[in-house]
Amino acid sequence: MRVGHGYDVHPLVSGRDLILGGVKIPHNKGLQGHSDADVLIHAVCDACLGAAGLGDIGRHFPDSDPQYKNIDSRKLLHKVKEALTRHGWKVVNIDSTVIAQTPRLSTYLPRMKQNIAADLGLAESDVNIKATTTEKLGFVGREEGIAAQAVVLIDNDSP
Q: From CA 131, how far away is CA 97, in angstroms rounded? A: 5
26-43 pLDDT per residue, tens: 999 999 999 999 999 999
CATH label of the domain that carries residue 57: 3.30.1330.50
Task: State the pLDDT confidence band at 52, using cuts at 50, 70 and 90.
Answer: very high
58-77 pLDDT per residue, tens: 999 998 999 999 999 999 99
Q: From CA 38, how far away is CA 43, in angstroms rounded? A: 9
Tally the domains of the chain. 1
Residue-level pLDDT at 159: 58
Residue-level pLDDT at 152: 98
- Reduce the DSSP state of residue 155 to 3 states and report it: strand
142: domain range? 2-156
- Percentage of residues in the chain with pLDDT exceeding 70? 98
